[in-house]
A and B are shown apart, each in its own frame.
Chain A
Amino acid sequence: MYPGSTFEGLLPESQFKKMGSSEGQQTFCLKWNHHKTNLVEILEALIKVETYVDCTLVVDDQVTFKAHRVVLAANSPYFQSILADVPMDHCSILFPGVKDFEMRALLEYMYTGEVNVTQAQIPRIMKVAEQLEVKGLFDMTELRRRPGTSERTPAASPPRVVPAAPSSVSPPAPAPPTRWPPPPAAPVLSAAYESVDMNPLKRKKLSSMLATRDTPILRNVLAQSSPVDSSQPMSLVCHPVNNSAPPRLHSNGSAHEPERPPSPQRPFDYRPRRLSSRASSPHYNRSDRSEDAHSPYTERSFEEDNSRNFHPSPPPPNFQPDVRAGLAPYVPPQQKPEWKRYKQYTRSDIMSAIECVRNGMSALQASRKYGVPSRTLYDKVKKLGITTSRPMSRGVKRESNGAAFPYGLSGTGGNEDGNPSTPLIDPSFLQQALEGATRDGGREALHAMALAAAAHAALAPRSPPRSAPHSPRSPLPDDDHVEDLSVSRRHDVDPPSGVIVPPRNFALDCSSERD
């Protein structure tokens, strides 16, 4: 059984890992991959309905904003120090001299990581931001002059004021959006969170929250299409304001969100975004992929991630509409070439390559023949469960325990259309799902099972028997990164005595494969 299925709501994006199994107790790492996403989204939703707010910000003209102290503190060392010693239940923070649009913009920035403002507003907003030390908007040097304020906070990694700082804002000519710095790791990071399918319960709750109210906060979404790349949390990307443009929430998003009711005055845009905050987590950095325990995503190839994130193909149908809207559209078209170069093969190339491997060609040869990145091909072939002529490494046996479950379930096994009816799924996955369903009867498990059944049916003619889930990987130098995901079963001599007892087929797998 895939232990994550024990917890409804954790699948499929949850991970379940064994960590450093010593002789005695085995510890398990229960990891929900969308935890950060969820947290950010929930905060946005909460502020929208002003739930759990615990402070009131008062600016000029008695305009008040409600906010969460924890968010203020998280986004500003200044607030952090101010609020630290104010143990009041509900505190008021007065900002004489601050205009409401400034505070509104800053609040939206703090809650969502981005905000649309007009060029004229930028200098004032930046000034207030600097005074309040809003991370990402104020100059880092200011902080260094006061040692011990924010450099202790890990999140204070280089907050930056980009070229768009007041002095250097370009005139409203249509200039290409600036992104800074160019983030090589960004696609990997966002891909890790791409399958934003929350469990239905939560999804419903959130969407209902989103639908309920339109608070006065940030009502003036200053209509500017700014394809802000939110994967760099600490950088502000400003774009020249084209005042003649009709007010829109997000330029690119509009075409992708027909389902959303028109609400031109939404103060916050609550679509889950392409997820800014996570990029700051060093865990998802590509350079970390050798440390397997914490980076379940690293098995996916870079090429694949790019193709899935930045390919303009429709998102998987199991995506919620508003979730879907938040993903792709945020990539400015200008960036296309930069990402595109990672994927210069077509879908038919990869299919042909897979076919060749199935017919006995080595994956490496096939990858060369069709110009497909070999790692991508390995992944896909492996998920198909195809045996190659390559000698199999010992580590591969772990594949059968369903560690790749999350990917299989989300239907993101590398096929670009993300169609869940043809995920490249190891048949063992079906067993895992069944196992989970029978054990817990969880809704997620049932859902997973349905998906798995469809997938299995689609793949049935060519799926090898479960006993031979061989990986076609060749001993590449970076082989270890490919093994990251498969999660440390190699020490599992004993059935784990940890939190969750493994299912019987897992135990069987272990013993049979050890032989």
Chain B
Amino acid sequence: MGDQQFFLKWNDFQTNMVTSFRHLRDEKSFTDVTLACEGQTCKAHKMVLSACSPYFKSLLEENPSKHPIIILKDVSYLHLQAILEFMYAGEVNVSQEQLPAFLKTAARLKVKGLAEPPPQMPSIKREG
């Protein structure tokens, strides 16, 4: 009789994870990687980067370091921020004129959902 399993599910799990990660990033808590481009830096979590980009995943796997600093070439800081926003929140606002360059950068960094043709394309909505 002790074999009976119970299924415990937290319905808000994903929401919570997303908001928590976002919160951690805003607080710069537990950040363990620094991304730098155009002379500016931002901190992030290896886990999130690896989860969202095979490029970062292999980069970080190849260089195991407590707190690596990744200096990105030919990446605009604006785009980097937008990409991080996308990684952490799953959505981001990009102006139309920036969109091609942004997508190009995202493709170079192999950001999942932006670079490779994903199962379901991210919906690009026009706002404002």
Contact = CB atoms under 8 A, between A and B. Distances in A.
Whether chains A and B associate is yes
Interface of A: 56, 58, 62, 77-78, 81-83, 85-86, 88-98, 128, 131-133, 146, 149
B71 A93 contact: yes
B63 A94 contact: yes
A89 B66 CA distance: 9
B74 A97 contact: yes
B73 interface: yes
Nearest to A127: B73
A137 B62 CA distance: 30
Contact of A91 (B36, B62, B67): B67
Contacts of A77: 39
A232 to B, nearest CB: 25
Contacts, number: 63
Interface residues on B, range: 10 to 19
Nearest to A93: B69
A96 B70 contact: yes
A363 to B, nearest CB: 57
A131 to B, nearest CB: 6
- List the 6 closest pairs (A to B, CB-CB), nearest first: A92-B65, A97-B73, A92-B68, A93-B69, A94-B70, A88-B67
B34 interface: yes
Contact of A81 (B39, B62, B68, B73): B39
Nearest to B39: A78
B72 A96 contact: yes
Contacts of B50: none
A81 B59 CA distance: 23
Given A91-B67, A133-B39, 12 more contacts: A62-B62, A78-B36, A78-B39, A83-B69, A85-B41, A91-B68, A93-B68, A93-B69, A95-B71, A96-B72, A97-B72, A131-B73
B67 A96 contact: no
Given A91-B69, A94-B70, A86 B34 contact: yes
B67 A86 contact: yes
A56 B59 CA distance: 14
Interface in B56-83: 59, 62-63, 65-74
